[in-house]
Structure 1
Amino acid sequence: MRLHTTTWGTGDRLALLVHGITADHRTWRRVAPALAGHGYRVIAVDLRGHGASGRSDGYSVRQHAADLVETLPRGAELAIGHSLGALTLSLAVEELAPRRAVYSDPVWWLPDGPDGFRPELLTRAKGLTREEIRAVNPRWEETDVETELETLALWDTATAAGLGEVVGRDLMPERAVVPSLVPLADPSQLVPAERAELLRRRGFEVRTVPGTGHTIHRDDHDGFLAALDGWI
């Protein structure tokens, strides 16, 4: 599927941005202009089932990855993915061949069992109120809360079933295909300490952004950019 894209900047270098589940390109509303200020032309996608991109009968992670390859140019200077977007980017990275990749709090594994991930629970996010979003994300700016309401309204909840295929599986890359950074929440529920150490052994650089939750770039924009020092 050819995805909807949004572009910032006119720089000579190219950066690609891939959002997480329930979001769309607007999650990068501060990151993208910051990258443009560093001389990048920034392209952000809306994954299938999100934002202005098409809906589908299938939302597997492999389909998301194929969409990136179909939509985005090869050989970008930088590619950043968050959550589901980080997983999707990692599955497409060999074909996209960016010079550097950043996987922000990636969903490479989800727990199974009675207290594990259940897609039907994620779909309840569709009905969250402004007050509930604010309570779950106390560090977000008010614009991010408003944006979350708008993106949830557009989100196809069927995408949650596709994320369910990660449950009980380990999709962490065996190696860093390109120079790769993994910024993590504090603490990360998706990449605990032992998995972070495994990433380091596999050639990834791992950094933690203090005091942040899963959506690092919205919890602490400045801290997220600081974590990218030397990578942008």
Structure 2
Amino acid sequence: MKLNTHVWGSGDRTALLVHGIMSDHRTWRRVGPALADLGYRVIGVDLRGHGESGRGAYSAEIFADDLVETLPAGAELAIGHSLGGMALSLAVERLAPVRAVYSDPAWALGQGMSVDPAVFVEFRHATREMIAGLNPRWEEADIDVELATLAAWDPQTALSLAGENAIDRIPERPVVPSLVQAADPSFLISEDLKEDLAGRGFEVRTVKGAGHTVHRDDFDGFMASLDGWV
């Protein structure tokens, strides 16, 4: 499926942004322009079932195939958050970016570190007050985006990763030079997994005190943790 995309900037380098579950390209409202200021042409996607992209069958592999069908190969940088990190890792060999960043990726679904998908489905009806309470460091604009992206999200995307599909997809090795960026604490990337990933050849950095959506919870910390990667 060809996905809906949004572009920031017109630089001679290309960066790809892949959002997490319940979100869409609007989650990158600060990251996209920041990378554009660094000389990138930044392409953000709406994964299928999110934003303005189409609906249909869902699986981690299908999300990855859509990225390959939509995005250019050979970008200088690709960043995937949560579900987007999972999808990017399954597509990275075909997309062949120069560097990849996995921000609190949803790889360890089979290790009891994930939230029950039913919780995500219920969260679709979250109020502004609930979102603000859960994310006290977010700006008002991020809460606006969260409400808008929840309204444009198909909850079946979460259910497709439950049950027998809740399996580990931890990469055996980095296909390209890769950074894993962890929240603090992270319900997806345990301390043991950080050590394991480092042993597999990933660079691992933790953004101290940042929640799961690192780029919204601590934008400055998110950008600082990309030092040497952007």
**Shorter-chain TM-score: which interval?**
over 0.9
8 Å CA contact retained: 1:17, 1:45: yes
Return the letter of the residue paired with 2:85.
Answer: A
Asked whether 1:132 is paired with 2:125, we answer no
Match of 2:104 in 1: 105
Match of 2:220 in 1: 222
Q: How does 1:36-185 map to 2 (within 5 A)?
A: 36-56=36-56, 58-110=57-109, 117-164=115-162, 169-185=167-183
Asked whether 1:35 is paired with 2:35, we answer yes
Return the letter of the residue paired with 2:107.
Answer: W
Give, in angstroms, the shift of residue 112 of structure 1: 6.3
Asked whether 1:10 is paired with 2:3, we answer no
Give, in angstroms, the shift of residue 161 of structure 1: 1.4
Distance in 1 separating the partners of 2:27 and 2:115: 23
Q: Which runs of 4+ in 1 moved over 4 A?
A: 165-168
Change (3 A) 1:192 1:94: same
Distance in 2 separating the partners of 1:164 and 1:112: 13
Match of 1:211 in 2: 209
Return the letter of the residue paired with 1:7.
Answer: V
Return the letter of the residue paired with 2:96.
Answer: A
For residue 163 of structure 1, give the secondary structure of its aligned residue in structure 2: coil
Change (3 A) 1:160 1:11: same
Return the letter of the residue paired with 2:218.
Answer: D
Distance in 2 separating the partners of 1:11 and 1:111: 40
Q: Which runs of 5+ in 2 are unaligned?
A: none
Distance in 2 separating the partners of 1:85 and 1:79: 10
8 Å CA contact retained: 1:61, 1:88: yes
8 Å CA contact retained: 1:111, 1:117: no
RMSD between superposed Cα atoms in Å: 1.4
Distance in 1 separating the partners of 2:196 and 2:165: 19
Give, in angstroms, the shift of residue 121 of structure 1: 2.0
Task: Give aligned-pair identity as a percent.
Answer: 63
For residue 155 of structure 1, give the secondary structure of its aligned residue in structure 2: coil
Return the letter of the residue paired with 1:123.
Answer: V
8 Å CA contact retained: 2:110, 2:168: no
| TM-score, reference length from structure 1 | 0.96
| TM-score, reference length from structure 2 | 0.97
Give, in angstroms, the shift of residue 117 of structure 1: 3.5
8 Å CA contact retained: 1:60, 1:165: no
Return the letter of the residue paired with 1:20.
Answer: G
Return the letter of the residue paired with 1:181.
Answer: L
Match of 2:187 in 1: 189
